């Protein structure tokens, strides 16, 4: 009979152990899922903080941002302001030698030339909470319309300049209905848009057109948007990323533009299976291009224009399509630590020309203090509670087994 009791105890212990082990599989899966990066990222995620740290190294003493060995440029500074605001930070507080990027724009407002300069200036000022109708003694909204808006709704001479005109004026609250109608007439039969009338569609300009149309009030369910989204799907490579045109490789800028367009529609997630190829999606591919210093390569093997690639990546990974909207400024929580000087370089192979306005070369790098995300104060080890439970069960079972062994045998049974 004692043998039978031992068997009962061992059988009970075995069943309990099997039950706990069966629970360990979903627990492990849960731990794995917690380690995966969820989209969109937030400003305190390590990837965003590293990117912001890199951008800080590109700020010059006049408050602006520039390419290596060059003076600050309006375009670089305008792009960076949009990325800063997208993270919830205030560009007025990004100061070098006492000057912010807004100070730089104010001091160089007389250098604005060309429609895209005006359009980016309006977008950057609105994002930063400034008034583009009264900045540095100029009304950029009025000047843009007077100098570049044609009777038929087109801005300047190109499709992409009209896309940016729609983004800028819709952000300023102006009526852009005529420009929207003109832009729709430029949609090619394949559903995409080109940089200029009569050219073949490309994925960057198509993505930007989607953002502009949505910003102007176009329904995501409209034929124009649905056709454009379907065209974007033809531009996804087997690595999950997007190409600019033709059979070119996936690149950071195209990833960012297409992610922003998908998000702008409000009904799709760039990590969904619909945007997954061979187990990879555009968010995965874009993140794979980030380098240890925080900047993003153009492709997996080409470093080109890292400042522009980085600002595009920040906005896309945060799920912020154009136009970037002003928002309550959220100061990051991380502690401040110094970083070493980072000197970006460009490989001899240039990136394919993009018709989307962007800085033309790599921004400069100077030593600057960056902010890193706070480390967790939670010292719990994943799975520790489960391990403690197993050890407890083993102890109890062993005790019961010993008691059963030494307990006097009841002969009445």
* Confidence label for 5 from pLDDT (cuts 50, 70 and 90): low
Looking at residue 49, what is its pLDDT? Answer: 98
Higher pLDDT, 305 or 340: 305
Looking at residue 328, what is its pLDDT? Answer: 73
CB 182 within 8 A of CB 152: yes
Q: Other CB atoms closer than 10 Å to residue 392's CB: what's the count?
A: 10
Tens of pLDDT, residues 315-355 = 999 999 999 999 775 444 443 333 433 333 333 333 333 43
Q: Which of 23-32, 242-251, 392-401 has the highest mean pLDDT?
A: 242-251
Distance CA 147, CA 144 (A): 5
Q: How far is CA 161 from CA 30, 77, 140, 348, in A?
A: 47, 19, 15, 30
Higher pLDDT, 4 or 113: 113
Tens of pLDDT, residues 356-406 = 333 333 333 322 223 333 333 333 333 434 444 444 444 444 444 444 444
Looking at residue 157, what is its pLDDT? Answer: 97
Higher pLDDT, 136 or 26: 136
Structure tokens at 257: 């533009």
Looking at residue 350, what is its pLDDT? Answer: 35
Given a cut of 60, is residue 301 above it in pLDDT?
A: yes
Looking at residue 268, what is its pLDDT? Answer: 80
Looking at residue 366, what is its pLDDT? Answer: 29
Lowest mean pLDDT among 194-198, 234-238, 362-366, 407-411: 362-366
Higher pLDDT, 178 or 384: 178
Tens of pLDDT, residues 247-281 = 999 999 999 999 999 999 997 899 999 999 999 99
Count Cα atoms within 13 angstroms, Cβ side, for 66: 14
- pTM equals 0.73
> Phi/psi zone of residue 375: left (φ > 0), alpha (ψ -120 to 50 degrees), beta?
beta
Distance CA 286, CA 254 (A): 9
Distance CA 90, CA 257 (A): 23
Lowest mean pLDDT among 57-61, 206-210, 360-364: 360-364
Looking at residue 329, what is its pLDDT? Answer: 54
Given a cut of 70, is residue 228 above it in pLDDT?
A: yes
Given a cut of 60, is residue 12 above it in pLDDT?
A: no
Tens of pLDDT, residues 141-169 = 999 999 999 999 999 999 999 999 999 99
Tens of pLDDT, residues 378-387 = 333 334 344 4
Structure tokens at 384: 């520790």
Tens of pLDDT, residues 87-123 = 999 999 999 999 999 999 999 999 999 999 999 999 9
* DSSP states of 166-232: HHHHHHTT---HHHHHHHHHT--TTS-B-SSTTSPPBHHHHHHHHHHHHHTT--TTSHHHHHHHHHH
Distance CA 46, CA 27 (A): 25
């Amino acid at each position: 009979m004692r043998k039978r009791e031992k068997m009962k105890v061992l059988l009970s212990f075995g069943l309990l152990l099997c039950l706990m082990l069966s629970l360990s599989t979903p627990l492990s899966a849960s731990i794995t899922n917690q380690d995966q990066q969820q989209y969109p990222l937030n400003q305190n995620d390590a990837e965003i903080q590293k990117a912001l740290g890199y951008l800080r190294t590109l700020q010059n003493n006049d408050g602006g941002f520039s390419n290596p060995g060059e003076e600050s440029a309006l375009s670089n500074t305008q792009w960076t302001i949009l990325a800063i605001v997208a993270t919830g930070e205030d560009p007025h507080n990004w100061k070098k030698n006492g000057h912010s990027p807004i100070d730089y724009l104010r001091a160089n407002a007389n250098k604005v030339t060309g429609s895209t300069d005006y359009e980016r200036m309006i977008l950057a000022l609105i994002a930063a909470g400034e008034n583009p109708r009264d900045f540095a003694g100029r009304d950029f909204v009025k000047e843009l319309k007077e100098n570049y808006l044609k009777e038929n709704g087109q801005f300047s001479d190109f499709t992409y300049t009209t896309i940016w005109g729609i983004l800028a004026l819709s952000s300023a609250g102006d009526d852009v209905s005529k420009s929207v109608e003109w832009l729709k007439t430029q949609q090619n039969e394949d559903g995409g848009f080109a940089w200029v009338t009569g050219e073949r569609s490309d994925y960057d300009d198509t993505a930007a057109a989607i953002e502009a149309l949505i910003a102007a009030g176009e329904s995501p369910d409209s034929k124009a948007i649905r056709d454009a989204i379907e065209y974007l799907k033809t531009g996804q490579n087997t690595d999950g990323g997007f190409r600019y045109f033709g059979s070119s490789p996936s690149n950071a800028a195209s990833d960012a533009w297409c992610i922003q367009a998908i998000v702008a529609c409000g009904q799709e997630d760039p990590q969904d299976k619909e945007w997954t190829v061979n187990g990879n999606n555009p968010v995965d591919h874009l993140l794979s291009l980030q380098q240890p210093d925080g900047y993003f390569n153009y492709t997996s093997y080409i470093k080109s224009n890292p400042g522009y690639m980085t600002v595009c990546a920040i906005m896309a990974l945060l799920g912020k399509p154009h136009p970037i909207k002003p928002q309550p400024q959220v100061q990051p929580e991380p502690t401040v630590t110094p970083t070493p000087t980072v000197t970006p370089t460009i490989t001899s192979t240039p990136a394919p020309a993009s018709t989307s306005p962007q800085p033309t070369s790599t921004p400069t790098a100077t030593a600057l203090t960056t902010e890193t995300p706070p480390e967790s104060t939670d010292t719990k080890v994943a799975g520790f509670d489960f391990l403690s439970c197993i050890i407890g069960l083993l102890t109890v079972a062993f005790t019961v087994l010993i008691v059963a062994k030494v307990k006097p045998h009841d002969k009445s049974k």
